[in-house]
Structure 1
C-alpha cells in the first residue's frame, strides 16, 4: 500500500502582517526615502536654527559693521554708508596695531607653551595612579571651574604693588617689590601668568584622557627592552599623544586669541597700551570711548576670526595628511 505525503500549501499560510491584522506596506521606495529625508531635516532643524541665530547672523552683522561707517545715529537708524575696506585700512594705519599684534602673539605663544608643558607634566604625574591622585586632580580643576572675573580679580589682589601677597613674599626673601600691574615692563607678563594658571587644568584633563588610551603593555614591553623613563616618554607617550596634543593646542590657541576678561580686569590693556591685545583693542574701539568706532572695532574682531579660522584649517589639513599616510 502506498503512502502519499501531503506537502503544506504555502499559499494557504497567511502573511504574518495579515495574520496580525496589519495592512501590508505598499509604500513606494521613493515615498519612503522622501519620508526619511524630511525626518532627518526635522532632527537637524534645531541645530541649524541655533547656528543661524547665534553664529551665522552675528558673523554677518560683524562683517557688515566692518564694511560701513557706523556712528551711534546711523547704528540706530540703519543708514550707515558703505565704505568697503576703509575701516581695515584705518586699523592697519593705527599706531596701536603693531604693538597689539606683538602682544597678542606673545600672549598666545607663551601661554600655550607653558599651559601645554605644565599640563602634560601633571598628566604624566597623575597617570601613575598613586594614593590621593583623584583628589589632587580635582583640586587642580578649581582654576578652570572658577568664573573668570573671580580668577582675574584674585590675581589683581595678589599682584597689587602695595598689599599683594606676591610682593610680600618677595620682600620676605630680600627682593624689592615689583609693579606688576602698573609698570609697562611687567603688565603683559602679569596677565600671561594669570592666563597660564587658568588654562593649565584644561590641558591636564584632555592630556590625561589621552594618556589613559595608551595601552600599558607598550610601556611594559619597552621597560623589558631596557628603555628608561625618558626614552619611554619620548618614543611612546609623545608620538601616541600627538592627535590629542594637536586638538588641545588648537582649542587653547582659539581660546587664548579671544581672551578679554583677564586682561581687562587686571590692566585694561595698559599702562600705555603695554598689555593691549586685539581682543581688548576691539572692545575699546567699539565700547570704550564716548564716540565709539564701531567699524574699526568690528574690523579688529574680524582679524581675530580670520586668524582662528586659518589655524583651524591648518589643523584639518595636517590631520588629513596624517590619516592619508
Structure 2
C-alpha cells in the first residue's frame, strides 16, 4: 500500500537543507545563543559571588547599568578602546594596503614572501602578546637594545609600565598581527579589478595616479569597507592581547571594555555589572554591524 504522505522533490530538498544546517544551528544555540541570553539576564540581577553562592540573586532592573555608568573607569575604558581601535586600524590598513599594491606585482619569490608575512596573523594572539611583552621589557628587551644602539634613546624605556607608552606598545603589537589580514583581503580585491578597464584607461591616456584614484579606489571601495568594518570588530573586542601584555595597566591606562568587564566579573566578583559592561560592548559592535549592512545594501541598490 502506497503512502499518502509522499514528499515532492522540492519538499525533500528543503528538508535536506534543514538537515544540513541543523548541526550548525545546534552549535550556535548551545555555545553562542545560550551564553548571550544568560549574560543579558544576569545583567539585570544582583549577581555577586555571595548572591550566587546563596542562590539569592534577584532582579534589580537597571541598577547594574546605573552603577557602571557612574564609574569613571567605564568612560576611560571607552576612550581607551576607541583610541586603540582607531590607532590599530590606521596602521593596519595603510601598511596592509601598501603591501597589497606591492604583492600585486609579479616578481620572483612573490608568493613565498607573502606567505612569510602571513605568519604573524596565523600565530595565536597569546603567543604574539608574550613575544612583544618580552620585546618591550625594560631590562633586556630587544626594542630598547636596538634604539639604544642606534642612539635614539640614552636609557631603557619602560614601555609597558608607563601610561604614555603602554597603549602605543599594544597598538604596535596588534598592528603586526592585523597587517597580513588587511593585505590578503585587499590583494584579493585588487586582483578582481578587470584588466580590460585598466587597459582602456591607458589607451585613453590616463597615467598611473589617475588610474589609481579614478579606477582602483572606486572599484576597491566594497573590499576596503569590508576590511575596515571587520578590522574594527576584531580590534574593538580585543581581550587576550591586552590581558597578557598589560592586564589593563599601568593604572588602568590601557583598560578596554573587555578587560573592564573581566575585572568586574572575576576580580571583584560583581558578575551582574560585568555582564552589563559586556552588553555595552556587544551593543557597540551591533550598531557597527547595522551600519555596515546599511552601506552594503545601499551599494547593491546603486
TM-score normalised according to structure 2 size: 0.93
Matched, 1:62 2:46: no
Q: Name which structure has the greater RCO, CA cutoff 8 Å, separation 6+.
A: 2
Change in Cα spacing, 1:38 to 1:79, as seen in structure 2 (3 Å) is farther
- Find the counterpart in structure 2 of residue 20 from structure 1: none
| Residue 136 of structure 2: aligned partner | 159
Aligned pairs (5 A) from 1:81-96: 81-96=58-73
Match of 2:271 in 1: 294
- After TM superposition, list the pairs within 5 Å mapping 1:113-262 onto structure 2: 113-174=90-151, 175-176=153-154, 177-262=156-241
Q: Residue deviations 1:210-255, cap 9 Å, x none?
A: 1111112222222333323222211111111111111111111111
Q: Give 1:28 shift.
A: 7.7
- Measure how far apart 1:137 and its partner are: 0.3
* 1:271 counterpart (250, 265, 270): 250
Kindly tell me: are residues 35 and 169 of structure 1, through their superposed partners in 2, closer, same or farther at Cα, counting changes over 3 Å?
Answer: closer
TM-aligned CA distance change 1:27 to 1:209, over 3 Å: farther
Distance in 2 separating the partners of 1:52 and 1:216? 45
What CA distance in whole angstroms lies between the structure 2 residues aligned with 1:206 and 1:71?
44
The structural deviation recorded for 1:76 is 4.6
Alpha-carbon distance in 1 for matches of 2:209, 2:200: 15
Distance 2:21 2:33 in 1: 16
Aligned residue pairs, count = 300
> Over residues 277-318 of structure 1, what are the superposed CA-to-partner deviations in whole Å (9 max), with x where a residue is unaligned?
00111111111x2x4110111111111111111001101111
The offset of 1:207, in angstroms, is: 0.9
> Which sits farther off after the overlay, 106-115 or 42-51?
42-51
Structure 2: distance between partners of 1:292 and 1:26: 61
Partners of 1:130 and 1:148 in 2: how far apart?
31
Q: Tell me, in whole angstroms, the C-alpha distance in 1 between the residues paired with 2:190 and 2:4.
A: 51
Looking at structure 1, the residues matched to 261 and 208 of structure 2 have their Cα atoms a distance apart, in angstroms, of: 47
Q: Displacement of 1:26 after TM fit?
A: 9.2
Tell which structure's C-alpha radius of gyration is larger: 1
Which has the higher mean CA deviation after the structures are superposed, 159-168 or 31-40? Answer: 31-40
> Displacement of 1:44 after TM fit?
2.7
Structure 1, unaligned stretches of length 5 or more?
1-22
Aligned pairs (5 A) from 1:307-318: 307-318=284-295
SS at match of 1:241: helix
Change (3 A) 1:134 1:37: closer
Structure 1 vs Structure 2 CA RMSD: 2.0
Separation of aligned partners in 2, 1:201 and 1:299: 34
TM-score by length of 1: 0.87
The alpha carbon displacement at 1:178 in A equals: 2.1
Structure 1 residues 77 and 231 mapped into 2: Cα distance closer, same or farther (>3 Å)? farther
In structure 2, the CA distance between the partners of 1:32 and 1:170, relative to structure 1 (3 Å rule), is closer
Aligned to 1:280: 259
4+ residue segments displaced more than 4 Å: 25-37
Q: State the Cα distance separating 1:30 from its structure 2 match.
A: 7.3
